Structure 1
């Protein structure tokens, strides 16, 4: 018997025991009281019958199947079957109340009822032994119910306990496998309740963890590769310089290459630290309202010369309603600049020569959408949903490093939504959306 089944049996036993105890108390107090009242009611009826008989013929009292006495003028006249005359000397019937009891010389408890009439006080009584016998029967019935419930409960609890615990034990087994990084779990529970919902959640979690685990391995592999290449260059150049195998001019050139690779490593380390801080929410954004139109124009100015060198046309398109307004966005200008810088830089990197890069700012469903669209070779569909979560490495271009992962964290911390689409096989769109509660604008300024 598993632990949960034992608990079910224990709780059931506690409940049924409590019910039986309460039933014992109720039967002792309530049932006995009800039964005694019913007996007093019967005695009252008997006393009224005796009175009716007395109105007819006194002699009939001796032939009645009712035990009692008639008290008239201090004379006690017993009636009914039995030797009641022997009681009369030890019992003071005159002091009995309307509903009372007395003990006979044989220690037998008798219930009595006194009816005052014009013919005298009629006292009828009967033994209380019936009450004790009645309660004994009730107690025996309750005990039988208790034992029967236990006999029936044990196999039923074991049966239903297994039905209840087997899915839980399955969930426990699967959780253990997931903890060992075995994400290929078989978990198809059909219980029609919260356990089935939990199983589906656990199955979904396993898929997510498998994806995250794979991305983490790729991340470490790619980071290791990007560390290894500059370190190898630094070592080779340093060894050549130390061994005196190169002249002064070559040594100077090697030193410049070493500095360049060190800067590259330093940038990589800073990006890793930045991503770690953003994901750990260790950075507080310096939020303030910035003029969005001026902000976008400034970004275009920064990249115009670079685009001109690569024969790429960079354009900025702003919806008329926004371009004719002062639009202020609640954001950290430095971090938001980094996002746009990364988007535009990637667009330039992946654009074909003579292509176009469009920066579009539009108002859609009361939200502002900023999109960077470039003509290139697009992003493979099998990885487009993962580029925000991993160290994306491209076989042809060499990769875009940690840029998009950092952008993802910056945009999430701002409360902006974001995404990437292939509008066609050669057109890629990166965008983020600013919700209506994070910007304000009025038609007061023209650009």
Structure 2
């Protein structure tokens, strides 16, 4: 059974957009709208309380002179009927009498008084508060009311309004809010859709472009953007150019390998066949055998370089046992080997405590390749300077051209006097594997190769 956890990354961008907008809509319905409605209820409730208190205060100022007999209070209230349908009671604490100034029957007014107002009124009289604002319920209806003690007469005004008024207002506001919210979501969805589709088109182009590279078909990629997609497009174009360059270098390598291997093999074959017939092409048996051995050595060295380069690709320096080794003996040994083979070149050394990190075998190969390269280009001098984590090998040969300098340490790059195009690549792999850097420099009268520890 295939139990894969859900992940947005498994969906297309269009489906991700639909999912996000759907989740946003659900979030608004479940959280945002109830939260806003709660705040609206509080605001509308406060507004109702303010309106009730305002009407109560107005009526108190106009009618307190008639409180003694209450003859025209009700008529006055009917003439001043307010939009909020606020109703009023007056309580006379000395007589413990409620005067009904509402349109309610006395029976209903008494029931409302006992069920709702009395507990709050008694508590307010007990605490001595001049005015109190309250919210309660009666017969499944919310009711807002204000109880105020008159400053001029020993009476309490009780003014109230049912929530039907606020409910209608709240419903209208809620509907308007819902329309606005979903309008905003629709606009956001439209903008996001346009944005996602502007992403999908270049991504599809990139996908087609990569597929064409894979199939080695003609391809074209022209995405003019300054964002990350533009960066990816530029990187892909750079990668294609590098792949084409590598393909060309490998093609040249195969051609060079074919040519370089063909010549010594042909010589070995022709000399061997001649000697089989007791014919010595180079004068005598020993001289002819020396030619065969020389060409066999050339073949062996080229094959070794090629295999060693491939071996370095699979070596993980982090898994090797890294040790500190002194390159002084190694350099001295290489100079002793090479100096007799190149008597026209003066080998000069300045070696002081040359400790490096890594494997001695790999460093031997790296230094040997640099020195071997120097012997082919040096006019008369090779100077080696060695310090701890620093090695410089100078030769007084010709300068390195800029085009060659840029690709000098890449595989299959060969200079005018190069052999196989692998030596400097082997050097670069060894140096970087152990945390060093190598740089070739054109000096005033020659070229220097400098290896030093990579700065952190």
TM range (shorter): 0.7 to 0.9
Superposed CA RMSD in Å reads: 4.1
TM-score by length of 2: 0.73
The Cα shift of 1:356 comes to 0.4
SS at match of 2:146: strand
Q: CA–CA distance in 2 between the matches of 1:367 and 1:203?
A: 38
Could you tell me which of 48, 54, 76 is aligned with 2:98? 76
The Cα shift of 1:133 comes to 0.4
Does the Cα contact within 8 Å between 2:438 and 2:452 map onto a contact in 1? Answer: no
2:368 pairs with 1:341: yes
1:177: which partner in 2?
Answer: 212
Higher mean alpha-carbon deviation, 108-117 vs 126-135, is at 108-117
Does the Cα contact within 8 Å between 1:67 and 1:124 map onto a contact in 2? Answer: yes
Alignment size in residue pairs = 411
Q: CA–CA distance in 2 between the matches of 1:272 and 1:47?
A: 102
Written as runs of structure 1 = structure 2, the 5 A alignment for 1:20-419 is 21-53=30-62, 55-57=64-66, 58-62=70-74, 63-64=76-77, 65=81, 67-72=87-92, 73-80=95-102, 82-85=103-106, 87-88=108-109, 90-93=111-114, 95-98=118-121, 99-101=134-136, 103=138, 110-115=143-148, 119-181=154-216, 185-191=220-226, 193-232=227-266, 246-247=277-278, 263-282=297-316, 284=320, 287-290=323-326, 292=328, 296-308=331-343, 312-316=344-348, 318=350, 326-331=352-357, 332-350=359-377, 355-361=379-385, 368-375=390-397, 382-392=403-413, 399-400=419-420, 402-419=422-439
TM-score by length of 1: 0.74
1:441: which partner in 2?
Answer: none
Q: Given the superposition, is the C-alpha separation of residues 136 and 256 from structure 1 closer, same or farther in structure 2, using an over 3 Å criterion?
A: same
Q: CA–CA distance in 2 between the matches of 1:362 and 1:255?
A: 41
Does the Cα contact within 8 Å between 1:371 and 1:431 map onto a contact in 2? Answer: yes
Residues 243-295 of structure 1, C-alpha deviations (whole Å, 9 max, x = no match): xx624989987887666655544443332232122222256476334264x65
Q: Given the superposition, is the C-alpha separation of residues 413 and 92 from structure 1 closer, same or farther in structure 2, using an over 3 Å criterion?
A: closer
Does the Cα contact within 8 Å between 2:147 and 2:159 map onto a contact in 1? Answer: yes
Q: Given the superposition, is the C-alpha separation of residues 120 and 102 from structure 1 closer, same or farther in structure 2, using an over 3 Å criterion?
A: farther
Q: Given the superposition, is the C-alpha separation of residues 226 and 315 from structure 1 closer, same or farther in structure 2, using an over 3 Å criterion?
A: closer
The Cα shift of 1:79 comes to 1.2
Q: Given the superposition, is the C-alpha separation of residues 35 and 421 from structure 1 closer, same or farther in structure 2, using an over 3 Å criterion?
A: closer
SS at match of 2:120: coil
SS at match of 2:447: strand
Q: Given the superposition, is the C-alpha separation of residues 114 and 164 from structure 1 closer, same or farther in structure 2, using an over 3 Å criterion?
A: same
1:445: which partner in 2?
Answer: none
SS at match of 2:393: strand
Does the Cα contact within 8 Å between 1:167 and 1:189 map onto a contact in 2? Answer: no
SS at match of 2:353: strand
Q: CA–CA distance in 1 between the matches of 2:193 and 2:178?
A: 23
SS at match of 1:316: strand
SS at match of 2:167: helix
Does the Cα contact within 8 Å between 2:354 and 2:390 map onto a contact in 1? Answer: no
Q: Given the superposition, is the C-alpha separation of residues 155 and 21 from structure 1 closer, same or farther in structure 2, using an over 3 Å criterion?
A: same
The Cα shift of 1:141 comes to 0.5
Does the Cα contact within 8 Å between 1:367 and 1:434 map onto a contact in 2? Answer: yes
SS at match of 2:225: coil
Does the Cα contact within 8 Å between 1:115 and 1:122 map onto a contact in 2? Answer: yes
Q: Given the superposition, is the C-alpha separation of residues 380 and 108 from structure 1 closer, same or farther in structure 2, using an over 3 Å criterion?
A: closer
Does the Cα contact within 8 Å between 1:315 and 1:357 map onto a contact in 2? Answer: yes
Q: Given the superposition, is the C-alpha separation of residues 237 and 392 from structure 1 closer, same or farther in structure 2, using an over 3 Å criterion?
A: farther
Does the Cα contact within 8 Å between 2:206 and 2:221 map onto a contact in 1? Answer: no
Q: CA–CA distance in 2 between the matches of 1:419 and 1:108?
A: 88
